[in-house]
Amino acid sequence: MKHGLNTDGVRRVGRGTKTHAVISYPEGTKIVKTFACTILSALILSTTLVAAEPLGTIHVDGGADGVVVSPQMYGLFFEEINHSGDGGLYAELVRNRGLEDTQVPQGMKVENGRLITPNGWRQRFRHDGPMPGWSLAGEGSGSFELDDQRPLNEATPHSLRLKIDSIEDGRVGVANSGYWGMSIKEGEAYDLSLYARCNEDFEGSLVVTLESVSGAVYAEAKIDGLQPQWNKLDCTLKSNATDPKARLVICAPSTGTIWLDMVSLFPQKTWKNRPGGLRPDLAQMLADIQPGFLRFPGGCVVEGITLDNRVKWKETIGPLATRPGHWIRWGYRTTDGLGYHEFLQMAEDFGCPAMFVCNVGMSCQFCEGEEATHDELDAYIQDTLDAIEYALGTVDSTWGAKRAENGHPEPFNLKYVEIGNENFGATYEKHYRPFFEAIKQRYPQITTIACTAPFMRLPLVEDPPFKDPTVPIEIADEHFYVSPDWFMSHADRYDGYDRGGPKVYVGEYACNKGVSNGTFWAALAEAAFMTGMERNADVVRMGSYAPIFINNNDSEWSVDMIGFDSSRSYGRSSYYVQKLFGAHRPDVALPTRVTAGTRQAKTLAGKIGLATWKTQAEFKELSVENDGKVLFAPDFRRGMRRWKAYSGRWVTEDGLLKQLDPGEFRHASAGSTMWKDYTLKMKARKIDGQEGFTIIFCDDDGGSFLLWNIGGWGNTQHGVDRIGGNPHVIPIGQRVPGSIETGRWYDIRIELDGTRVRCYLDGKLIHDIQVDTPASPELFATAGRDRATAQLILKVVNVADHPYPTDVTINGIERLAAEGTALVLHSPDPTAENSLEHPTKIAPATESVTGLGPKFRYTFKPYSMTVLRIDTTNVRKN
């Protein structure tokens, strides 16, 4: 399909090489006169249209030097989360192959289905039985249990013991259901390997089948060679049917006892046919982004819940049976089958450099927050140097030799090391420098990356990661998990960055606040922000969306880029944004100016919360209502369910929620970032301390919220503030004199109506204020030159709900083709999203465009991202 709108307002539509007699015009274009005439193929309708007044202009300085866009600009952030690796990208079909899934991590305990760290941080720890994934199969009589006698090796201390009492009524065995079903395809072959041993009186071979849940057999094989000693056995199974929910069954034909461990089943068809490799559809989706780098192994998993729980890369290499695997911060145990070597290999297969994130002697500061001592730190630094040696060292070096032993004598392309993940504060500053110095001294070719605090919102220069300005930073990693409004209103964030300061890696970003599990609106917001990243490519050297994957059966993190189940996968609209930016990365970004209308949210939205400042207080009868409907009415007799305590000592007692820590700003929150137009009510009583209570509302869960401070400023005033902007605290409206008495219950009510906020204390209206929402342009753009194709690439994001006729001027390029290609990602519904059932509801459409040149008018679709590629004949080669 061809369409275009000339500078004279005429839009032409064609198909293939033929120009067609189609009258088609953008919405918002006014028809003045229509008549027919003939061009080229005899019958052509020519339509004289007068376009609606342009709403925007885009000016590209095509003759400028521009700024180099790094080939590493758009990369991948991989972390084991939501079963992204095990049960996802890693093609292993057997779940809990090593029988270690229910082991309690070192130093932690389990109570009532919760894992608890020494200092009381908690996480779910629920399993359906001691051997998740496994069940008894067959009609005969027998039993199975988890056994810790005579283990295969130290790394896998448990095995599955199957006791076959009688086979008179049929077979006895065990079945593995995989990760919510094994996807088996007709005609494809599957490699099974397992370790087994048997007692003396057991005779015969094992019978292995791939079956449906109801017992239809798709493939069968016999395995001989069972002995009283552990022995590795294998076979290949070829399936005669397709079933996304198949299972593996291992049966014994004789009575007796057998033990199984490290039971593994891999499709032979993996991505690039690597044995024990990657699931092809998921790996290909990543390859299609044309990633500039691969960051691994995370994320919070790098830090671990405790220090012992961190990723220990040396335990993730070598034979699978000697990798212990480990419990991860995201609520399950990983096999570490996708280990350090596999990540390096994956980067090589993607054709991009690798980025290793090391532990900096600190566990996750939002979990246990453990820190290595001064004496222990050297071992962490050495561990990182060893990791680099594994990737880059010669085969004569200790770790280079291990790499060769593991099948890769040539060095890998490890280019970046990030020193820690989301670490911040004084300890990070203390630990970072010796890591930096050791790495740079030994491997000057490695580019190091420093973390910034995950809740950092201010530009680097205003909120530097280190107090000491002499601490060297090559690249700083900024993370943004924020709302659409934030992304859109900060698309100019890097325009004013210090060109002499550290470069930036936007290491984790996703629009995940107020967008449920992700919407096209979120994707557009990311696209808007990315135009700012690309335009400022001299500062922003790299970026990676996070997290990438979600197995739809395990959603630990609700907004992700690619969803899948055992057999199907789809990219959210955010995936297509990443793909469009990745595949259409220019070599040089050109100065691009946009004029357009302004958009501003008409409603306030966000979670609610409670806080105190140097005060202990208690709360009861809290409710959130919208239009007479109760959204939230917690029963504090049942604890703090659905609350998140950030700081303080929050306890529930006698139906009251109490905050008992006398420190500054002790804070907990609850609810949804989608809540709007609500009434928040509660009763509050001060127990002791210097001030009153602080009620939080419109919390975007990304560090920005409104608060009503009642009895603040030394218990002298009430006032509403916005937190998390720039400056960090912005008073809204007038503060009024007032104080809070100890021991007295107060009635508190906050009413939100669009952007109006009314705050009542004991039924009396204290504040009636209008709150400004962030304003942002309706149109965002970035343009650049592509050396290989000599094309000008223009990316434009229209976040308005209507078409956007825009006058585009491209200066400094004499010969711009009149025809080009547009890739348009658009949906009339910004709340729409792709799904397993409708995987490409929102996907880019390719269109041919005519009427281009140094000046042209183009109408961008409502809610759209458009990539225009225009041939030039004298594009500069820099």
Please write down the long-range contacts of 125-131, taking CB distance under 8 Å and 24 or more positions apart: 125/331, 127/101, 127/102, 130/102, 131/96, 131/99, 131/101, 131/102, 131/160
Q: Which of 422, 478, 618, 833 is catalytic?
A: 422
Per CB under 6 A, which region of 107-115, 294-302, 633-641, 755-763 contacts ligand AHR?
A: 294-302
Q: Is 421 in the site for ligand AHR (CB under 6 A)?
A: yes
What is the nearest approach in angstroms of ligand AHR to the Cβ of residue 703?
12
What is the nearest approach in angstroms of ligand AHR to the Cβ of residue 647?
17
Per CB under 6 A, which region of 296-304, 424-432, 583-591, 779-787 contacts ligand AHR?
A: 296-304
State which residue, 421 or 798, has the beta carbon closest to ligand AHR.
Answer: 421
What is the nearest approach in angstroms of ligand AHR to the Cβ of residue 327?
15
Question: Which of these, 858, 842, 862, lies nearest to 794 by C-alpha position?
Answer: 858
What is the nearest approach in angstroms of ligand AHR to the Cβ of residue 77?
7
Q: Is 79 in the site for ligand AHR (CB under 6 A)?
A: yes
Find residue 723's DSSP bridge partners.
705, 729
Phi, psi angle pair for 2, to nearest 5°: -115, 140
| Contact between 649 and 672 (Cβ < 8 Å) | no
What is the nearest approach in angstroms of ligand AHR to the Cβ of residue 560?
9
State which residue, 416 or 557, has the beta carbon closest to ligand AHR.
Answer: 557
Q: Is 423 in the site for ligand AHR (CB under 6 A)?
A: no
Q: According to CB under 6 A, which one of 349, 389, 422, 701 is a site residue for ligand AHR? A: 422
Quick check: helix, strand or coil at residue 761? strand
d(CA 257, CA 226) in angstroms, rounded, equals 11
Q: Is 88 in the site for ligand AHR (CB under 6 A)?
A: no
**The three-state (H, E, C) secondary structure of 236-280, written as one string:** EEECCCCEEEEEEEEEECCCEEEEEEEEEEEECCCHHHCCCCECH
What is the nearest approach in angstroms of ligand AHR to the Cβ of residue 121?
15
Q: According to CB under 6 A, which one of 62, 299, 400, 634 is a site residue for ligand AHR? A: 299
What is the helix (H) or strand (E) element at residue 541, kind and residue range?
strand 540-545
Binding mask 470-509 for ligand AHR (x = CB under 6 A): --------------------------------------x-
Q: According to CB under 6 A, which one of 300, 372, 539, 842 is a site residue for ligand AHR? A: 300
What is the nearest approach in angstroms of ligand AHR to the Cβ of residue 431?
17
State which residue, 399 or 557, has the beta carbon closest to ligand AHR.
Answer: 557
State which residue, 47 or 448, has the beta carbon closest to ligand AHR.
Answer: 448
Q: How many CB atoms lie within 10 A of CB 492?
A: 15
Q: Is 105 in the site for ligand AHR (CB under 6 A)?
A: no
Q: According to CB under 6 A, which one of 4, 298, 582, 830 is a site residue for ligand AHR? A: 298
Q: Is 554 in the site for ligand AHR (CB under 6 A)?
A: no
Per CB under 6 A, which region of 151-159, 292-300, 617-625, 638-646 contacts ligand AHR?
A: 292-300
State which residue, 311 or 823, has the beta carbon closest to ligand AHR.
Answer: 311
Sign of CA dihedral 293, 297, 303, 305: positive
Q: Is 454 in the site for ligand AHR (CB under 6 A)?
A: yes
State which residue, 508 or 833, has the beta carbon closest to ligand AHR.
Answer: 508
Q: Is 702 in the site for ligand AHR (CB under 6 A)?
A: no
Q: Is 123 in the site for ligand AHR (CB under 6 A)?
A: no
Per CB under 6 A, which region of 185-193, 297-305, 583-591, 739-747 contacts ligand AHR?
A: 297-305
State which residue, 366 or 643, has the beta carbon closest to ligand AHR.
Answer: 366
Q: How many CB atoms lie within 10 A of CB 19?
A: 16
State which residue, 78 or 863, has the beta carbon closest to ligand AHR.
Answer: 78
**Strands 705-711 and 656-659: what pairing?**
unpaired
| Contact between 209 and 263 (Cβ < 8 Å) | no
- For 770-808, give one letter per residue: b (16+ CB within 10 A) or e: ebebbebbbbbbbbbbbeeeebbbbbbbbbbebbbbbbb
Per CB under 6 A, which region of 38-46, 51-59, 272-280, 293-301 contacts ligand AHR?
A: 293-301
Q: Is 304 in the site for ligand AHR (CB under 6 A)?
A: no
State which residue, 47 or 452, has the beta carbon closest to ligand AHR.
Answer: 452
Please name the residue that has the structure tokens 């400042």: 613
| Contact between 774 and 485 (Cβ < 8 Å) | yes
| Contact between 684 and 746 (Cβ < 8 Å) | yes
Question: Which of these, 613, 728, 603, 601, lies nearest to 667 by C-alpha position?
Answer: 613
User: Contacts with ligand AHR: how many residues (CB under 6 A)?
Assistant: 12
State which residue, 66 or 297, has the beta carbon closest to ligand AHR.
Answer: 297
| Contact between 423 and 360 (Cβ < 8 Å) | yes
What is the nearest approach in angstroms of ligand AHR to the Cβ of residue 483?
16
**Strands 74-77 and 294-296: what pairing?**
parallel
Q: Is 353 in the site for ligand AHR (CB under 6 A)?
A: no
For residue 223, give every residue at least 6 positions away whose Cβ sits within 8 Å of its Cβ, in sequence order, or none: 192, 194, 196, 205, 206, 207, 208, 233, 234, 235
d(CA 262, CA 432) in angstroms, rounded, equals 39
d(CA 346, CA 90) in angstroms, rounded, equals 11
Instruction: Look up residue 814 and give its two tokens.
Output: 């004499």
Which residue's Cβ lies closest to ligand AHR?
Answer: 299
Q: According to CB under 6 A, which one of 251, 338, 347, 546 is a site residue for ligand AHR? A: 546
Please name the residue that has the structure tokens 């979990």: 367
Under rule CB under 6 A, which residues in 12-41 are in contact with ligand AHR? Answer: none
Sheet holding 592-595, edge to edge: 592-595, 56-61, 804-811, 855-860
Instruction: Look up residue 162 and give its two tokens.
Output: 């199957």
Q: Is 547 in the site for ligand AHR (CB under 6 A)?
A: yes
CA-CA distances (angstroms) from residue 58 to 55, 496, 532, 840, 874? 10, 20, 14, 30, 21
Farthest-apart Cα atoms in the chain, separation = 95
State which residue, 239 or 673, has the beta carbon closest to ligand AHR.
Answer: 673
Q: Is 449 in the site for ligand AHR (CB under 6 A)?
A: no
Question: Which of these, 332, 335, 336, lies nearest to 555 by C-alpha position?
Answer: 332
Quick check: helix, strand or coil at residue 859? strand
What is the nearest approach in angstroms of ligand AHR to the Cβ of residue 329?
7
The answer to whether residue 92 is catalytic is: no
Q: According to CB under 6 A, which one of 259, 380, 412, 557 is a site residue for ligand AHR? A: 557
State which residue, 298 or 738, has the beta carbon closest to ligand AHR.
Answer: 298
Per CB under 6 A, which region of 57-65, 295-303, 630-638, 697-705 contacts ligand AHR?
A: 295-303
- Residues with active-site annotation: 422
- Catalog residues that contact ligand AHR under the rule CB under 6 A: 79, 81, 298-300, 421-422, 454, 508, 546-547, 557
